[in-house]
Structure 1
C-alpha cells in the first residue's frame, strides 16, 4: 500500500478544475491539463501525469496564476513521489515554498508543507516529517482548513510510528470528526483504519472490528484496492487477536486474493 501518498489529492483537483473566469482560455487550458494529469496518475502512468502537470504549471507560471502554480507544483511533487523520485518531489515543493513573490494564500503554504511532511514520512525520515507537519499545522489549526483532516491522519500515523498508540487513537478520532463533517469519504476511511490499527497495537482487538468494517465499505465504494487489502489484513489481525481463528484465516485469504489482483500503482 502506498504510504499516504494520495492523501488530499481530490481536494487539489477540485480546486484546479474551475479557473477563475470562464473568459480566461489559458487558465481553462491549465485546468484541463491538470485533470488529464490526475487521470494518468490514477492509471499508474506517472510519466504522462508528470508531462501534463508540467504543462499546466508552465501555463500558470506564464500568467502568474498563484493558485494554479501552487496546485500544480504540489501535484507534480505527488507524481514524482509515486514515481520514486523523492529528490525531484522535494525540488518542486522547495521551488514553490521559496517563491515569496507569489504571495501564496496560507492554505496553499499549509498544503505544500503537508506534502513535504508526507514525502519525509514516505522516506522513513520521521523526525523531518514531524517538523513539517508542525509547520503545516501552524497554518492549519481548525476545521476551516481544507487539509485539517489529512494533517491529523498524518500525525496519527506518525504517532503509531513512534509506538504511541494512545496518541494515535486520539488524533485519529479528531481526524474522523473533521473528515465526517466534510464528507471526505477516503479520509474518513483512513481515520477509521488508523483508529483500528491503534486499537490493535493496544490489544483492544474487538474495538478494531467496527471501524475496519466501515472503512472496508467506504474503500470498496471508492474502488481503492490497496486500502481494501489493508482493511482485510487488519481484520484478520484483529480477529486473530480476539481468538477468532477461522475468521482471521478468512480475512487473510481475502487480503491475499486482493493483493494478487492489484496494479502496481494501487
Structure 2
C-alpha cells in the first residue's frame, strides 16, 4: 500500500518530542509538508532537524507557539492559514491522588487537552470542507475508556476528545473530510518514563521498571510492553491518506489490546 501525501500540508500539535515527533516524521516520509509545533524554540528547531534526519524529503516547518492560548493559536494560523491534515496531539498528563485534584488542575487539563483541539478544528475545518478534502485526528488514549484511578483528570479529557471527534465528524458529513480519534495505549516516551518512575522504584533499570509498571498498573495489555511512538504514527499516517476515505467518526485503537472490548 503506497500512502502518498504529496501536496498535502499537515499540522501536528505538540510534535517537538514523543508521539507527536513520530507522527510528524511519518507524515513527512509520506510526502506531506509538515508543521512541527511546540512551545520551546530550541526543541522545535531540534525536532525539525530530527524529522529531516529520519529520511524525510518533504518540506518541514517549525513554529514555536503555545497553542493552549489564543495568542499562540493566532500565531500559527497567521503563518499557516490553510492545512489539509490536522493532528491534535498536544496533551499533558501526570499522576495525581484522585481526591486531591484541584479545580484549577481540572480546568488546566480540559483547556490544554480538549479546548486546544476544539479551537484548531473550528479554525481549519471550514476550509477543508470548502475544498472537499481534509483529515482531522485527535490523539486520545486507552485512559479515555479505562479510566485510571491515578489519572482521572487526564482520562476525563481524553474521553471528551472521543465525543468531540464524533461530533465534528457529523459536522463534516458528506464533505470529503474525515474526522477520527486514535486511542493510543501505554506508549514509550520520555514523559512516560518519568511517569513510570513515579509509580515504581526509581532504582530499577528501565527494562525492569517497565515490566513492573505493566504488571502492576497496566495488566490488561495483551502486548505486555509499552508501545513505540512509531507504532502510533503508522495508524495516523494511514488515517491521513486517501486510502482511509471511508473511515470517519471512528475511535481507532492502537492500544496493544489494552481495552478489553471486542468492538469500540
Tell which structure's C-alpha radius of gyration is larger: 1
Output the TM-score relative to the length of structure 1.
0.32
More strand by share: 2
More helix by share: 1
Q: Bigger relative contact order, structure 1 or 2, given CA contacts below 8 A and separation 6+?
A: 2
Give the structure-2-normalised TM-score: 0.32
